[in-house]
């Protein structure tokens, strides 16, 4: 990777992986990656080795999110350094295998970029998820994709959401987590398929060799995880309020309706200021005690000086 006068270039990305089926019931990524495994012409770029890969084949076969544990939370240092064996949960075994194949981070044989394709039942549109506001190269690339693609609705920073959420943390330098919804689990909708295939992944590959000038980037930074209201036994006693349902990325102000109890009582948002909820009523997050996350809008300056670049490469 080179940089001159704060211009970032993506031409050192020689090996790019595209992951589908990290959650086996998120059908757009599963379908696209399977199609590309059969015929990779659409994702081939000169000078780039592109590898489409089904990360959780058993979950895909069962059309379920995971078999033993959530693969997208399994890339912990502890899991990756555990003695391997069949007695480990299936997804921990997979995490170790994926780490060996596409990592380990910092090794010469590690892949340069991973695109990880996800669907959500939330009405989030097309969202690129980054982990770090300090990764200026990634920010510039995401900004480039967003301004060139009307379908990309939002950039979200999830670094504070879950420290083990993103592969990047352990595996690689550059990653784009892509969430597209709404789409029910186990369903393939043509509109979601189109926006994921034509616009995003393939466009990311076109970034290879492009120069990204310094820019400012509007992002939603994840702030707080909001659980459903519960009784003393832990049972959910309210639903996402109809005024909030499907309103991902729209402002939620103090006093706005947030939940509705089963007997019709409105529970209002009591935070200190305006937030922008997302992952609203995502099916997979009921078990994670999460009704939605709040985010706050932020504008970041993405300038990629050589020193930062060098540091990123070295790390």
User: In which residue are the tokens 């993405």 written?
Assistant: 302
Residues in touch with a second copy (CB under 8 A)? 31, 34-35, 63-64, 121, 182, 184-191, 193, 235-236, 239-242, 245, 260, 262, 281-284, 286-287
State how far the Cα of 130 lies from the Cα of 141, in Å rounded to an integer. Answer: 11
Report the relative pairing of strands 266-268 and 257-261 from DSSP bridges.
antiparallel
Nearest approach in angstroms of CB 188 to a second copy is 5
Q: In which element (H, E) is residue 81 found?
A: none
| CB-nearer residue toward a second copy: 242 or 255 | 242
**Residue in 36, 288, 34, 304 with CA at minimum distance from that of residue 165:** 288
- The distance of closest approach from Cβ of residue 187 to a second copy in the complex, given in angstroms and rounded to an integer, is 5
Pairing of strands 113-119, 49-54: unpaired
136 annotated ligand-binding residue: no
Closest CB to a second copy among residues 177, 181: 181
Q: What is the DSSP letter of 67?
A: S
- Taking each helix axis from N to C end, the angle separating 306-314 and 136-148, rounded to the nearest 10 degrees, works out to 110
Rounded to whole angstroms, the Cα distance separating 27 from 255 reads 37
Q: Least Å distance between CB 61 and a second copy?
A: 11
The residue (of 235 and 307) whose beta carbon lies closer to a second copy is 235
Helix (H) or strand (E) holding 253: none
Quick one: 102 or 193, whose CB is closer to a second copy?
Answer: 193
d(CA 125, CA 80): 33
> How many whole angstroms separate alpha carbon 163 and alpha carbon 147?
29
Query: Smallest distance from the beta carbon of 40 to a second copy, in angstroms?
Result: 14
Is 23 annotated to bind a ligand? Reply is yes
Please, what is the minimum distance in Å from the beta carbon of residue 239 to a second copy?
Answer: 4
**Tokens found for residue 228:** 């459903």
- Identify the residue whose tokens are 């006093």: 255
Closer to a second copy by Cβ: residue 28 or 99: 28
Strand residues in the chain grouped as ranges (E): 3-4, 7-9, 15-20, 49-54, 113-119, 125-130, 152-157, 174-181, 211-212, 215-226, 238-240, 257-261, 266-268, 292-302
Q: Are 279 and 122 in contact (CB under 8 A)?
A: yes
Cβ proximity to a second copy, 112 vs 282, nearer residue: 282
Shortest Å distance, C-beta 33 to a second copy: 12
Find out whether 118 is annotated in a ligand binding site. Answer: yes
**Which residues are designated catalytic?**
179
Residues making up the binding site for Zn(2+): 23, 26, 118
Residues making up the binding site: 23, 26, 118
């Amino acid at each position: 990777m080179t940089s001159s006068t704060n211009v970032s270039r993506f031409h050192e990305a020689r090996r790019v992986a595209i992951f589908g089926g990290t959650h086996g019931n998120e059908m757009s990524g599963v379908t696209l990656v399977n199609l590309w495994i059969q015929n990779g012409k659409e994702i081939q770029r000169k000078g780039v080795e592109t590898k489409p890969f089904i990360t959780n084949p058993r979950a895909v076969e069962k059309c379920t999110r995971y078999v033993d544990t959530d693969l997208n939370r399994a890339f912990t240092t502890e899991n990756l350094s555990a003695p391997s064996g069949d007695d480990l949960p299936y997804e921990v075994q997979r995490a170790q295998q994926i780490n060996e194949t596409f990592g380990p981070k910092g090794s010469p044989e590690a892949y340069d970029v991973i695109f990880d394709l996800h669907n959500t039942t939330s009405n989030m549109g097309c969202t690129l998820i980054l982990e770090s506001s300090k990764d200026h190269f990634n920010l510039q690339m995401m900004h480039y994709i967003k301004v060139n693609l009307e379908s990309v609705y939002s950039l979200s920073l999830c670094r504070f959401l879950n420290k083990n959420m993103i592969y990047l943390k352990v595996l690689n330098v550059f990653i784009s987590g892509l969430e597209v919804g709404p789409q029910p689990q186990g369903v393939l909708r043509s509109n979601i398929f189109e926006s994921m295939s034509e616009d995003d992944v393939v466009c990311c590959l076109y970034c290879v060799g492009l120069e990204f000038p310094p820019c400012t980037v509007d992002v939603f930074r994840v702030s707080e995880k909001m659980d459903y209201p519960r009784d003393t036994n832990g049972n959910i006693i309210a639903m996402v309020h109809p005024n909030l349902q499907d309103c991902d990325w729209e402002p939620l102000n103090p006093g706005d309706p947030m939940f509705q109890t089963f007997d019709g009582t409105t529970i209002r948002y009591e935070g200190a200021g305006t937030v922008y909820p997302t992952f609203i009523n995502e099916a997979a997050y009921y078990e994670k005690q999460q009704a939605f996350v709040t985010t706050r809008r932020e504008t970041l300056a993405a300038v990629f000086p050589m020193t930062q670049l060098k540091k990123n490469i070295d790390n």
